[in-house]
Structure 1
Amino acid sequence: MSAQAFDPNPTLGAMLVGTLCGCILYGVTCVQAYIYSTRFPDDHWMIKFSVCFIWMAESAHTGTVCHTLYTLLINDYGHPELLLARPPRSIIGYIEITVIIAVYVQVFFSYRIWVLSKSRIIPAFTYTLSLVRFGLGTTLFSVGLNVKSVTEFGTKWQWLGIAMWSLSAVEDVTITSALVYLLFQQRKNVHKSTTAFLDKIIMWSIETGMLTCSFSLATVILFHLMPNNFIWIAFSTLEARMFSNSLLASLNSRSVLRELRDRPRPGTTSNGLLTFSTLTEGFRTFSPWSKNTNYSRGTSKGITVDVTTTTDEPELMDMRKPAAF
């Protein structure tokens, strides 16, 4: 590549933009991890481990991407012919870290499907996809350590990357569809005042699932069409951030969902006292979502009314139990 023919926009420019956007999203990850640590100190240790693991993996991912950018912009400054030569080891390392983050998050949400459905069919399918994707990513990592140029990596081993990111997109769609279907099924059995609560969960499930799927599809398309530039690398960098933030957002959103759940419902006063219409209407309960709490409330005339309130809250909201993980 001659200096006169060198165009930095699809190579160094794409890498720079992707790294800067990735650093911004890494900041979001750090904020979300901090919010989690302050709001949910009583969660099960496996949930805490997951948050810590994701944050550490994101930190390592950011370090490898920044090292790659420094090598290309500073160490190889003035030598564009080196751009498509043997890639820095860090750029290969960050691909493997991306795979680890994505697989971990997908396994996390696959387990949630099992908690909701108590069926092993869909989780077994998504677990298999995660295992295959991890194998493909590790193979791609091993191959990348020995390639002589980016051109060789993008032509000889292109099929491996396409298969890996395609599997990721399929798994994202499967997980999102399963979660939405299960939540819609539960929506039919809840009290009407709880539907807004479930609608919010459904909406967030669709948004996060489609976001990660979109970046996986964008990466595989760009890698197929333009394997010799770095635009696909920029999208792959952001893909890892999408996975991490989707997991952390799902954990931190519990506080928002609980506020939505605890709002005064029709038939209650602002202080929570039940009116006559509520007493005659009753509540519908179902398992494993409902948690009943009995308590007595005295009236001003000395009459004691026994009231049973029902919290239609998914057991996924209670992360203090191992089953919630």
Structure 2
Amino acid sequence: MSTGLLTHVDLSGSMGALQIGSIIAVYIFGIVTLQAHIYYTTFPGDSWKYKTLVAAVWLLELTHTVGISYEVYRATIVLYGRPDLLTSFPVLGSMTGVGGAITLLVQTYFSLRLYKVLPKPWCHIGLACITVSTMRFFASIYLSVRAAQATSLATYRHDQAWLISALLTSGAVVDIVIAATMLQYLMKKREKGLQRMATVVDRLIAYTIRSGLLTSISAAVMLICFQAMPNNLVWLAMYSFLAKLYSNSLLSALNARQTLRDEITNSMPSVDRFTRSKGGLRRDGSVDPARFYNASQVISIEMKTTTETIQDDVKAGPSYQLDADQKI
């Protein structure tokens, strides 16, 4: 009776990491779905552009999640007991283009806010971010095709290492530029505004940091793993849920508008009494600017929502405008 030689294959750094990444991806997709549901139920009167954007992001995330889940199923079930065949992941590689599309939509949304709120020539920072993000998207399509055709992940990684590093670096840089520029703008508005508006501006600053910090840090960590650990799939596992962080940043920014409205109402309760007594509310609950916008000093804090003009003093005094349909 021959004993033979048993070869132990350690898959903890490859399939183990990829499986953990897929679990995190599915979990975050559940959060994305919940955020999308909250958006449609909370803001039924939003523009069709925002509704279409949310629907497009959710459908792309669904496709991305299905692709990742299938790749894990293929590796753990279809190819069970055949670690020698785990040399390529064509379906997961093809999802690179889907992730690039999600990143493009989200970064374009935040970049357009910069373009609309910043004065010239600083508004062109937003256009520059859109340009870089668009180039990044086309590069992700190229990588997606090459990954689907690759017969070996090691060869693909070696041949496309510079482009993968460029994509991760550019994505993190765009996130940092958007967040830093918006923070600078909000800090200037806070210094010029009255004390009672400081809470609202602080909340906007927190949302800005939250939307850009997590995605940029994740992209940077993924780049470090890609460069420092070439013999495992930890970087690929992180990629499987990186795009979902972008989706959550977009949806959380859209859903945060209701919290901001509550902050304004709590900090300026006299506004609610004034608007109800004068009948100046629209059907969607916002204040009609044509009725109350008559002061010369304005602090414009835009948040991509319906226009709300808040008058500090009915007879004389500054008014505060939240106009996010056109600006932040």
Scaled by the length of structure 2, what TM-score is found? 0.83
Contact 1:28 1:245 in 2 (8 A): yes
Q: Distance between the aligned counterparts of 1:288 and 1:264, measured in 2?
A: 17
Closer/same/farther in 2, CA of residues 159 and 260 from structure 1, 3 Å limit: same
Task: Give 5+ residue unaligned stretches, structure 2.
Answer: 276-294, 303-307
| Comparing 222-231 and 93-102, the one that deviates more | 222-231
Q: Which amino acid aligns with 1:17?
A: I
Equivalent residue number for residue 209 of structure 1: 212
Query: SS in structure 2 opposite 1:188?
Result: helix
Equivalent residue number for residue 263 of structure 2: 260
RMSD of Structure 2 on Structure 1 (CA) = 2.7
Equivalent residue number for residue 297 of structure 2: 285
| Comparing 119-128 and 23-32, the one that deviates more | 119-128
Q: CA deviation at 1:271?
A: 6.4
Q: Which amino acid aligns with 2:183?
A: V
Structure 1 residue 100 and structure 2 residue 101: aligned?
yes
The aligned runs of 1:203-242 (5 Å cut-off) are 203-242=206-245
Closer/same/farther in 2, CA of residues 98 and 13 from structure 1, 3 Å limit: same
Q: Distance between the aligned counterparts of 1:125 and 1:311, measured in 2?
A: 33
Equivalent residue number for residue 111 of structure 1: 112
Q: Which amino acid aligns with 1:93?
A: S
Closer/same/farther in 2, CA of residues 147 and 312 from structure 1, 3 Å limit: same
Contact 2:117 2:327 in 1 (8 A): no
Q: Distance between the aligned counterparts of 1:248 and 1:270, measured in 2?
A: 27
Equivalent residue number for residue 7 of structure 2: 4
Q: Distance between the aligned counterparts of 1:80 and 1:293, measured in 2?
A: 64
Contact 1:26 1:62 in 2 (8 A): yes
For 1:190-226, what per-residue CA distance to the aligned partner results, in whole angstroms no more than 9, with x for missing partners?
A: 2210111011110121122110001111111111222
Q: Distance between the aligned counterparts of 1:3 and 1:112, measured in 2?
A: 60
Q: Distance between the aligned counterparts of 2:300 and 2:173, measured in 1?
A: 29
For 1:91-121, what per-residue CA distance to the aligned partner results, in whole angstroms no more than 9, with x for missing partners?
A: 1122111111111100100001112114432
Q: Which amino acid aligns with 1:285?
A: Q
Contact 1:190 1:284 in 2 (8 A): no
Contact 1:292 1:310 in 2 (8 A): no
Q: CA deviation at 1:245?
A: 0.3
Contact 1:190 1:286 in 2 (8 A): no
Closer/same/farther in 2, CA of residues 292 and 176 from structure 1, 3 Å limit: closer
Closer/same/farther in 2, CA of residues 284 and 21 from structure 1, 3 Å limit: farther
Specify which structure has the bigger relative contact order, considering alpha-carbon pairs within 8 angstroms and separated by 6 or more residues: 1
Equivalent residue number for residue 312 of structure 1: 320
Contact 1:154 1:228 in 2 (8 A): no
Q: CA deviation at 1:293?
A: 6.0
Q: Distance between the aligned counterparts of 2:319 and 2:32, measured in 1?
A: 31
Task: Give 5+ residue unaligned stretches, structure 1.
Answer: 274-282, 296-304
Which of 147, 157, 162 does residue 160 from structure 2 map onto?
157
Overall identity of the aligned pairs, in %: 25
Scaled by the length of structure 1, what TM-score is found? 0.84
- How many residue pairs get aligned? The number is 298
Closer/same/farther in 2, CA of residues 225 and 293 from structure 1, 3 Å limit: closer
Query: SS in structure 1 opposite 2:146?
Result: helix
Q: CA deviation at 1:306?
A: 5.1
Q: Which amino acid aligns with 2:113?
A: R
